[in-house]
Homo-oligomer: A and B are copies of this chain.
């Protein structure tokens, strides 16, 4: 994989040029893209032109290629949202996050494959760790492009588990920040209360570096040794839905973190979190029926069967049910704050197990929905694998607004696993 930090340091030191970084990406793309299918659009000529421009200056992402999930509008690339309805669509402007990437000196290399409107309807991307398996979704192309070494940084989005799950399946670092830390203006919406922009990179320090550069915030974790975090292992009420290998991965991570000096205890989540888990689907589907109203009302026949059925059923959800789900969310947020007064982060699975075989499903977001709903920062920590060599990701969940602390804890766990 291409480490964003390593490339940035080499550019800074003058031992590698932005054009040279693009060459590294191109080499991997030539070798793997035909099989993996991570890109929805690619423009290497444009990237080389931008890389040669003096306007890049000394911005922190200077010269680093970035892949943009094709759910973000871009003026210089087609933007199809994974949908036939938007074939050839070319917006007039870049989405806000893309502009922020370019302000930071990043070079958009291409658009990465999204499932249809970032839903559960799979696209054709394959998992670079084993092409017979799904890369997860909905940020399928972003996670796969990082795993295949085709990009150092990629943008994604999560409404259920669309950043953390594909990161886990592909064995890369994924960061879903606190709700709206990364702006979603110009991103196709599915559920405005849940849609959260995120990022992928090779390791935790790389994704933190990217997030820091894009936001101009103090999120880097590569400039010192992280303090041992106070971790609570949270099995959640769906622990039984995690594979044995995933359960073992989480427990191994906890043991290694403790051995490395972290305080690790266990926490049992009170019943309000089960209510909140169920509230997620109500909020998501109620809003999706409205967010995709134009497409559903005018182009229903061009919507894939999984998403179409989801929207068909969503039509029956009432405002009362939605409001009740919002109130449950509010209570659960308070309950989480109360629960974590003495805890830095939770440790929990990133997904039910390793990437599913075949491309018919992108897997389940059951270990992600609750945290998306609660708006907390989440990091997929890569480094473990099952017996077949498929990655198993563990998830660090922080407190709302404490993104840096979540990234530091994730780095600590990543090092403990590796060490």
Question: A residues within 8 Å of B by Cβ?
Answer: 75, 86, 89, 92-94, 96, 98-100, 102-103, 180, 183-186, 189, 192-193, 215-218, 287, 290-291, 293-295, 297, 319, 323, 401
- The interface residues of chain B lying within 8 Å CB-to-CB of A92 are 86, 89
Complex Cα gap A375–B5 (Å): 40
- Assess whether A99 is in contact with B293, with CB atoms less than 8 Å apart: yes
- Assess whether A193 is in contact with B180, with CB atoms less than 8 Å apart: yes
Interface centre among A184, A185, A217, A290 (most CB of B within 10 A): A185
- The interface residues of chain B lying within 8 Å CB-to-CB of A319 are 215-218
Complex Cα gap A75–B298 (Å): 11
Complex Cα gap A293–B323 (Å): 34
Complex Cα gap A193–B185 (Å): 11
- Assess whether B294 is in contact with A99, with CB atoms less than 8 Å apart: yes
- Assess whether B180 is in contact with A100, with CB atoms less than 8 Å apart: no
- Assess whether B215 is in contact with A93, with CB atoms less than 8 Å apart: no
Supposing A92-B86, A216-B319, A319-B216 touch, asked if A297 and B183 sit within 8 A by C-beta, the answer is no
Contact of A297 among B102, B180, B291, B294 (CB under 8 A): B102
- Assess whether B295 is in contact with A93, with CB atoms less than 8 Å apart: yes
Q: In the A-B complex, list the 3 residue pairs whose CB atoms are closest, starting with the nearest.
A: A99-B293, A185-B189, A93-B294
Contacts A/B (CB < 8 Å), 27 sampled: A75-B294, A86-B92, A89-B92, A93-B294, A93-B295, A94-B293, A96-B189, A96-B290, A96-B293, A98-B294, A99-B297, A100-B290, A100-B293, A102-B297, A103-B293, A103-B297, A180-B192, A180-B193, A183-B189, A183-B192, A183-B290, A183-B291, A184-B192, A185-B189, A215-B319, A216-B319, A217-B319
Closest-by-CB residue of B relative to A74 is B294
Q: How far is the CB of A353 from chain B (nearest CB, A)?
A: 34
Additional 12 contacts, C-beta under 8 A, given A93-B294, A93-B295, A185-B291: A75-B294, A86-B92, A96-B290, A96-B294, A99-B294, A99-B297, A100-B290, A180-B193, A183-B189, A183-B290, A183-B291, A217-B319
Complex Cα gap A168–B293 (Å): 32
Q: How far is the CB of A295 from chain B (nearest CB, A)?
A: 7
Complex Cα gap A237–B93 (Å): 40
Interface centre among A189, A193, A294 (most CB of B within 10 A): A294
Interface centre among A186, A218, A287, A290 (most CB of B within 10 A): A290
Complex Cα gap A192–B189 (Å): 13
Q: How far is the CB of A321 from chain B (nearest CB, A)?
A: 12
Q: How far is the CB of A182 from chain B (nearest CB, A)?
A: 10
